[in-house]
């Protein structure tokens, strides 16, 4: 938990695993890192308000489920304080509250859950996945401009795609999960800046053309409500 709190203060993965990933503190921050972790996503959210997201897990590897995520933005003097209810009931994950928030912590919390899931599925250490994701965001992320439909009209968006384990030493120990990809869809026209986050493992190469992914997890923006 202390590591996670430090990550939030320092700009998420920008300050995590630098030496171990071969990156130095002097390395220029990439466009992908800027979009995800150095952008004021909450500038278009007036406290107090709650951002609602739908989460869906599907795929052939194991049972799926649907759940919800709520990002609650509170006023704290001139700053914003954010708490996140990530899932409900027995699935709920306790993540720390963020003081003086600008970026949307749902991005980091989605990745933190993904890291835990990958560790559970493969037996590798969470720190290895953090380093791989950090390196991919810095060196191999693809950033594309796109359009989406939001509020009944078109909106400009950016799409960040990483395949963090494909060219990483961790690849050989991950087996069928080594091809996992992440796609982040961001738009300044969407409250909280995050439209969708998707993590997926494609079906095996020899699977039928209509085979579902081994795992697919989507976090999608649903709406905002003033408190």
Residues forming beta bridges with residue 72, ordered by sequence position:
50, 83
Distance in angstroms (rounded) separating the CA atoms of residues 52 and 46: 15
DSSP reduced 3-state for 129: helix
Q: What pLDDT score was predicted for residue 27?
A: 62
In this structure, is the dihedral angle defined by the CA atoms of residues 55, 58, 62 and 65, taken in order, positive or negative? positive
Report the domain count for the chain.
Answer: 1
The pLDDT tens digits for 36-86 are 999 999 999 999 999 999 999 999 999 999 999 999 999 877 789 999 999
pLDDT over 60 (residue 5): no
Question: Could you identify the residue written with the tokens 């649907």?
Answer: 66
Q: Give this prediction's pTM.
A: 0.89
Percent of the chain residues topping a pLDDT of 90: 74
Q: What pLDDT score was predicted for residue 208?
A: 80
Q: What pLDDT score was predicted for residue 167?
A: 86
Range of the domain at 18: 2-226
Distance in angstroms (rounded) separating the CA atoms of residues 81 and 47: 9
Q: Sorting pLDDT into bands at 50, 70 and 90, what band is 18?
A: very low
Q: Which residue has the higher pLDDT, 198 or 79?
A: 198
Taking residues 30-41, report their average pLDDT. 94
pLDDT over 90 (residue 11): no
Taking residues 202-206, report their average pLDDT. 84
Domain of 149, CATH number, reads 2.50.20
Of 14-18, 90-94, 169-173, give the lowest mean pLDDT range. 14-18
Q: What pLDDT score was predicted for residue 12?
A: 43
């Amino acid at each position: 938990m202390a590591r996670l709190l430090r990550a939030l203060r320092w700009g998420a993965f920008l300050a995590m695993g630098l030496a171990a990933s071969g990156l130095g503190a002097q390395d220029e921050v990439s466009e992908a890192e800027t979009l995800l972790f150095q952008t004021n996503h909450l500038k278009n959210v007036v406290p107090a308000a709650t951002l609602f997201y739908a989460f869906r897990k599907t795929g052939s590897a194991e049972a799926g489920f649907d759940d919800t995520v709520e990002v609650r933005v509170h006023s704290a003097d001139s700053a914003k304080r954010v708490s996140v209810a990530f899932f409900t009931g027995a699935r709920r994950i306790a993540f720390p509250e963020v003081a003086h928030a600008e970026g949307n912590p749902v991005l980091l919390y989605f990745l933190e859950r993904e890291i835990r899931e990958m560790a559970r599925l493969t037996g590798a250490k969470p720190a290895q996945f953090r380093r791989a994701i950090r390196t991919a965001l810095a060196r191999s992320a693809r950033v594309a401009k796109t359009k989406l439909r939001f509020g009944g009209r078109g909106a400009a968006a950016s799409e960040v795609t990483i395949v963090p384990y494909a060219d990483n030493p961790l690849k050989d120990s991950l087996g069928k999960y080594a091809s996992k990809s992440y796609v982040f869809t961001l738009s300044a026209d969407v409250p909280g800046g995050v439209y969708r986050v998707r993590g997926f493992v494609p079906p095996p190469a020899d699977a039928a053309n209509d085979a579902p992914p081994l795992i697919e997890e989507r976090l999608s923006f649903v709406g905002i409500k003033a408190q």
